[in-house]
Amino acid sequence: MGLKDVFAPVVDVVFPPRCPLCGARIGGQTGLCGPCWSTLVIPGEPACAACSRPFPDAVAHGAICAPCLAQPPRHDGIAAATLYNEASRQLVLTLKHGNRIALAPLLAELMLGKLATVDQDWLIVPVPLHRWRLWRRGYNQSAELARAIARRTGARLLVDGLVRTRPTPSLGGLGKAARQRVMKGVISLAPRHAEALRGARVLLVDDVMTSGATSGACVSVLKRAGAKSVVISCFARVLDEALGAT
């Protein structure tokens, strides 16, 4: 039994555990209440063999979605814990802007549930924040998720494997092409990690994946550095058409 387990009852008395979405009393410091669990949408099968985009109807095993056929992805798969809806949005915002870093292990557990085997032979790299934003916020939420996943899997964490070379405006409201233009040349490799990335299997960790412009820029840099494969793991993925079908 660790110190965390020893002091857990005291922490529960001083800070009664509550659901981070609705505030209802719950049994432990990590988790959601039953009704709030049911509001999360977990992407399922059938799905695209390349990017795991859910299909609305039954398709043949190994089918590829239209976006991947039109532009084959450079990544080696996307593992999304949830589809982006109001519930997942609130969890992300609470982690990202509410200084609730303690939520990271809960979100990471859900992300791990959608991942195939990740072990000590993998490298885990978070999507980077620009240093100005990191100084203002105090932490990188993607790095906190990556840290929690590394702790559970034994994989090596390269928390500064990628660098955001310049600040970028919010990508909200921009189309896919505009997002890609904004992200052009923004992500670079930390030179001291170049050797570790050659031939490596990499798990790229992000909180929310929208158009894929940011993660795509990261994947391109990792592949140019010689990474053998790059799988993207995110907590929430924006797929409004799949959410509507669900």
Q: Which amino acid is at 36?
A: C
What was the pLDDT predicted at 12? 44
Segment 187-190 long-range contacts (CB within 8 Å, at least 24 positions apart): 187/128, 187/162, 187/163, 187/214, 187/217, 187/218, 187/220, 187/221, 188/162, 188/163, 188/221, 189/161, 189/162, 189/163, 189/221, 189/222, 189/224, 189/225, 190/158, 190/160, 190/161, 190/162, 190/163
Q: Which amino acid is at 134?
A: L
What was the pLDDT predicted at 172? 64
Distance CA 187, CA 184 (A): 8
- For residue 206, give the CATH number of its domain: 3.40.50.2020
In a domain, 32, yes or no: no
pTM, two decimals, is: 0.89
CB 145 within 8 A of CB 235: yes
In a domain, 187, yes or no: yes
CA 87 to chain centre: 16
In a domain, 186, yes or no: yes
What was the pLDDT predicted at 97? 84
What was the pLDDT predicted at 30? 72
What was the pLDDT predicted at 166? 85
What was the pLDDT predicted at 16? 75
Q: Which tokens hold the place of 142? A: 């993607």
In a domain, 210, yes or no: yes
CB 157 within 8 A of CB 146: yes
In a domain, 27, yes or no: no
In a domain, 171, yes or no: yes
In a domain, 10, yes or no: no
Task: Give how many domains the chain has, as a whole number.
Answer: 1
Identify the CA nearest to 88 among candidates 66, 69, 103.
103
Distance CA 148, CA 151 (A): 5
Q: In tens digits, what is the pLDDT along the chain, a chain of 246 residues?
A: 444 443 344 344 445 788 989 989 886 667 899 999 999 999 988 999 999 999 888 788 889 999 999 999 999 999 999 999 999 999 999 998 877 898 999 999 999 999 988 999 999 999 999 998 888 889 999 999 999 999 999 999 999 999 999 877 666 666 777 777 877 888 999 999 999 999 999 999 999 998 888 999 999 999 999 999 999 999 999 997 776 655
What residue numbers bound the domain in which 108 lies?
A: 45-53+60-245
In a domain, 89, yes or no: yes
Residue 244's CB is within 10 A of a number of other CB atoms, namely 9
